[in-house]
Structure 1
Amino acid sequence: MTAVRTSVLPPYAAHLRVYEPLAAYPEPERVRWQAYAAARGPDAAASEQSVAPAVLAEQREALAELLARTPRALPERESGRAFVRVVDGVTYVCPWATRLRSWQALEELSAALPAALLDTVLPPAVRAAAVADGERWQAVHPDARPWILTSRWEVPLRWFLPFGAEDRCFVPAGPEGGGVAAALFYLTPMAQARRRVARGYRVLRDRAPRGPLVREAEQVGRWLEEFHPRSLVELDYGGLVHLFGAGRLAAEDSVAELEQGIDALRAGDAEGAARAYRAVTDRWRAVLALRNAS
């Protein structure tokens, strides 16, 4: 497994990624990504390896961009970089699509921050120009979708649905002072991810139709349908691993707990399902509460 050596903590954010095989990309994108992967090599050469070093590189590049220039709402050009995985001899690519993700982050920021604070961070004229730019770009690329979803301070429950306990990959931290950071991620084939989400959705729709997970499961399922059926799907805890103690992180398996809850719901065990749901939501509520800690 790849160990991450760093003294810098990454942002407290988790990521849901889709890696598509080279065959999924039309020309000339396919040739470009093939050359990119050949020149740089894979960020992970096996399914049990983490792409955490490449994620840190992306974050450092973004930070350098902010420090070197006058702050702006989004990059001037789309990134030509990607995360590359090789599994069983097949090369998979997950484009960063930084500009597209920046537009989405701007929407989230506008909804999350008070108007006065938002105007201080990004003046109205800057936001308006970014939104207009995004609308023009979207008109030319109506089918565009990000390969990466990001969540700060928590992993949304719906993100656990595509995975099973057997997909879990945990890289423990190295000895104290060694600079080796822990990593926790799940990786599964797209076909398996879609089946799990579909099964979970049917159970939730039939047994708990008024619960919030019904709509959220449908959202995840629709997003996964946008990609090549032979893709890989990854849930990466990213910087959130630093919010868990070593023991808690080693034992963390919300995927298995939510899976048990859905199985209980399918079997008609409402009490068991509620118990599993509470265990997962209480844990992530406690993690989310750290956002406001001083």
Structure 2
Amino acid sequence: MQDVTAVRTSVLPPYAAHLRVYEPLAALPEPDRARWQAELAGRGPDAASADQPVARAALEAQREALAELLPRPSRAAPSWDGAAREHEGAFVRVVDSVAYVCPWATRLRSWQALEELRDSLPVTLLETVLPRTVREEALAAQASWRSAHPDARPWILTSRWEVPVRWFLPFGPEDRRYLPAGGPGQGEGVEPAALFYLTTMAQARRRVARGYRVLREKLSGTPLAEGAEEVGRWLEEFHPRSLVELDYGGLVHVMGEQTLAADQSAGELADGLAALRAGDADTAAQVYETVTERWRRVQALRQAN
């Protein structure tokens, strides 16, 4: 953990990983489809192939999010007046000449983050960050918005200071893309390192279902088994020809390139499940401990001064 990646930019992404779904542009409803077709024609994709990360676009999204913190009084989420649509950004990938879109859904994700914040911070600190009146207004808006959008779900899940082990279930070692830092950036010095996995929805669902079956049989009721069911249910919400991406995001800046190059968490978890399926519980337990210990070390950095 000593070889921390240096990034020459005035804004660092948060130390968070992201699980994303990109739906085919052609599958989006109007008017969203037409809007994104026009924007894609004007600015191009954030990643023009399966081997390119969306790191630059994610950094730009972070800049926009920081700008949203400037208004006073504080806002817990983008405002909603009962009629406004979610006219905001998305990550766009092009793979094999097909365009895929992952909307940010900032309002929905902000409300989810507010719930997590409420559960994780002491009341006094929470009151300083977001006063009670601001939280109450946000929760009232959330309830109203939910009644108008009962089937809404985020295209992006976020985890701070770790990649949850269950998030590796949709991927195989062949889906891994690691790009060391280097090469010219776009006015920001060198390109930062990136580590991400990308696969098809069909493969992701198949792997999660297969993993869940063995976990339910061998380790029913454990956090990993319940997590596999949770990931599987979330993936079922999207178009069957979507793409699924696990992006280490800002975690690359605390893990360091040596650790990133050696990280094979998805492949190790797949090996552990294969051992569990074959009845080799000792090997499966050893693999699981290796993966979880790796992420415990990253999580420990949260408390570092």
Give the letter for the 2:202 counterpart: A
Give the letter for the 1:137 counterpart: W
User: In the alignment, does 2:57 pair up with 1:46?
Assistant: no
Given candidates 73, 87, 93, the residue that maps to 2:95 is 87
Which residue is 2:299 aligned to? 288
SS of the equivalent of 2:171 reads coil
User: In the alignment, does 2:192 pair up with 1:181?
Assistant: yes
User: In the alignment, does 2:25 pair up with 1:17?
Assistant: no
Written as runs of structure 1 = structure 2, the 5 A alignment for 1:226-237 is: 226-237=237-248
CA contact (8 A) 1:6 1:181 kept: no
Question: For residues 206 and 51 of structure 1, do their structure 2 counterparts lie closer, same or farther at Cα, with a shift above 3 Å needed?
Answer: same
Given candidates 107, 112, 121, the residue that maps to 1:113 is 121
Which residue is 1:55 aligned to? 58
Which residue is 1:271 aligned to? 282
Deviations 1:240-274 (A, max 9, x none): 01121321111111111111110100010000000
Which residue is 2:228 aligned to? 217
Q: Provide the TM-score with structure 2 as the length reference.
A: 0.92
Task: Compute the displacement of 1:68 (Å).
Answer: 4.9
CA contact (8 A) 2:11 2:63 kept: no
Distance 1:5 1:169 in 2: 22
Task: Compute the displacement of 1:8 (Å).
Answer: 3.6
Which residue is 2:131 aligned to? 123
Deviations 1:90-129 (A, max 9, x none): 0000011111110110011111111111111111111001
Which residue is 2:160 aligned to? 152
SS of the equivalent of 2:250 reads helix
Given candidates 137, 146, 149, the residue that maps to 2:145 is 137
CA contact (8 A) 1:73 1:127 kept: yes
SS of the equivalent of 2:261 reads helix
User: In the alignment, does 2:33 pair up with 1:30?
Assistant: yes
Q: Which runs of 5+ in 1 are unaligned?
A: none
User: In the alignment, does 2:109 pair up with 1:101?
Assistant: yes
SS of the equivalent of 1:180 reads coil
Which residue is 2:4 aligned to? none
Distance 1:183 1:8 in 2: 16
Task: Compute the displacement of 1:137 (Å).
Answer: 0.4
Distance 2:255 2:129 in 1: 30
Task: Compute the displacement of 1:40 (Å).
Answer: 1.8
Task: Compute the displacement of 1:81 (Å).
Answer: 1.2
Distance 2:224 2:108 in 1: 26
RMSD of the alignment, in Å? 1.7
Task: Compute the displacement of 1:65 (Å).
Answer: 1.9
Which residue is 1:72 aligned to? 75
SS of the equivalent of 2:157 reads strand
SS of the equivalent of 2:67 reads helix
Task: Compute the displacement of 1:67 (Å).
Answer: 2.5
Question: For residues 79 and 59 of structure 1, do their structure 2 counterparts lie closer, same or farther at Cα, with a shift above 3 Å needed?
Answer: farther
Q: Which runs of 5+ in 2 are unaligned?
A: 1-6, 81-85
Give the letter for the 1:55 counterpart: A
Distance 1:246 1:227 in 2: 33
Which residue is 1:241 aligned to? 252
CA contact (8 A) 1:79 1:99 kept: no
Task: Compute the displacement of 1:282 (Å).
Answer: 0.6
Q: Provide the TM-score with structure 1 as the length reference.
A: 0.95
SS of the equivalent of 1:66 reads coil
CA contact (8 A) 2:214 2:273 kept: yes
Distance 1:128 1:167 in 2: 43
CA contact (8 A) 1:79 1:98 kept: no
Distance 2:221 2:276 in 1: 14
